[in-house]
Every structure is written in structure tokens, then in C-alpha cells.
Chain A
Amino acid sequence: AAGVIQSPRHLIKEKRETATLKCYPIPRHDTVYWYQQGPGQDPQFLISFYEKMQSDKGSIPDRFSAQQFSDYHSELNMSSLELGDSALYFCASSFGRPNYNEQFFGPGTRLTVL
């Protein structure tokens, strides 16, 4: 069965650079969630989209933005990167309104900021 695809899997950036993470949900899934997991930490919710509209916002820094496109894939744009942004970024997808069905997680993108 198709799973959530995230690209790239690994990314190394310098401080103050920008990064774009991509998420391709499971086919027919229309809801996407982004989570950030720092080293040794639990995943923290950043933002979610349903039917290409932002549905909820968590602890996402102002330097970050995200959107969901017409094909339901989503991109997380991160600017002015800081050392503390080094983390594993997960995308999850589900079908239907947020809180309606299971979230299936992608393998994550490991971002390292030097």
C-alpha cells in the first residue's frame, strides 16, 4: 500500500539559510499535518491543512510557512534557519476532516542546521 512520502529524507543547511520540505500524502487523503521532533523529544504539532486550507496551527515559528496544493501535497518552508531548528520533521496524512480518521506518518525529513 502507498504510504506518505517525504522529501528530502535528509537535509543539511547553514544558519540563516532557507529550506523547503515536501510531503506527498497517501492517495485520496486530503488532510496533512506537520510535526517537529527535536533530539530526544516528543513530536510537536506545527500546522495542519484540510482541503488546501489551513485547519489548525500549533507551535510553528513565524519564520516557517506552509501550504497545501491542489494535488494535496504540502510544503513546509523554513527561513532564517537557526541551530535549534535541527530536528526530524514528520508529515502525516488522513482522509476527511481533521480528527475524523487515523493519521499515517511519513518517514520524516531529518534537518541539520550547521
Chain B
Amino acid sequence: AQKVTQAQTEISVVEKEDVTLDCVYETRDTTYYLFWYKQPPSGELVFLIRRNSFDEQNEISGRYSWNFQKSTSSFNFTITASQVVDSAVYFCALRLGGSQGNLIFGKGTKLSVKP
């Protein structure tokens, strides 16, 4: 069965702290895709990153970085020097490599960054 687990329900940090959001996935498929989405209080879903199962290279985009490790089935997301505007719910999602295109979401992690 396919599943995404985000064990951290809520995280609260003070501005400028670094924070890591954990994501563990389960699938027996060898080809799959992993995503992170941000959902601010306004409600929209903002795409952050996609990773293919055959590309374990880590990625950095500004203050955001992602660590993909197939050995532990994890795709963790780190925000460096957090800012109040980073406050949102963050979803990790899985998409399989077959004909289905739908995303399987984790339960989300609510991040609160306090000034």
C-alpha cells in the first residue's frame, strides 16, 4: 500500500531558527515521485519541489533544502533562518509511476514561526 507519514503534527519555532519537517513514504513501486506543497492560511496549495525516485541528489533553493534518502524512505524538508511568512501547513505527497497521476498526501505539518 502507498502511504505518506508526517509524524510532526505541529512545530513552533522562533524566527531565524532552522527547522526540519520530516516525511516518510511507503511504496513498492520502483518509480515514483515525491513532492512538497505549502498551504498558507489563505488556503491555496503552493508547489515547492518534485523529486524522482531515481534522483537522490539533494536540492537547495534559497532558504529551503530537501534531503531525499531512499535507504530510509525519507524526504525531509529544512527551512533555514525561518521567517514569519513561512508559517503554514506543509504537505509531503507521493505520486506513483504508473498511469495514475493522483497525489497521495501526508497529514501535513503545521509550522508556526513566531517573531
Q: Point out residues on A near B: beta carbons under 8 Å.
A: 31, 33, 35, 41-45, 48, 55-56, 58, 88, 90, 92, 94, 97-100, 102-108, 110
Contacts and interface: CB of A to CB of B under 8 A. Distances in A.
- 4 cross-chain pairs, A with B, having the tightest CB-CB distances, nearest first: A98-B101, A45-B102, A99-B101, A42-B105
Contact of A103 (B46, B101, B104, B108): B101
Interface of B: 33, 37, 43-47, 50, 91, 95-108
Contacts of A48: 101-102
Contacts of A94: 101
B47 A102 contact: yes
Contacts of A105: 37, 44-47
B37 to A, nearest CB: 8
Given A90-B45, A108-B43, A102 B99 contact: no
A56 B106 CA distance: 20
B109 to A, nearest CB: 11
20 contacts: A31-B101, A33-B101, A33-B102, A33-B103, A35-B103, A42-B91, A42-B106, A43-B91, A43-B103, A48-B102, A55-B100, A98-B101, A99-B101, A103-B101, A105-B37, A105-B46, A105-B47, A106-B44, A107-B43, A108-B45
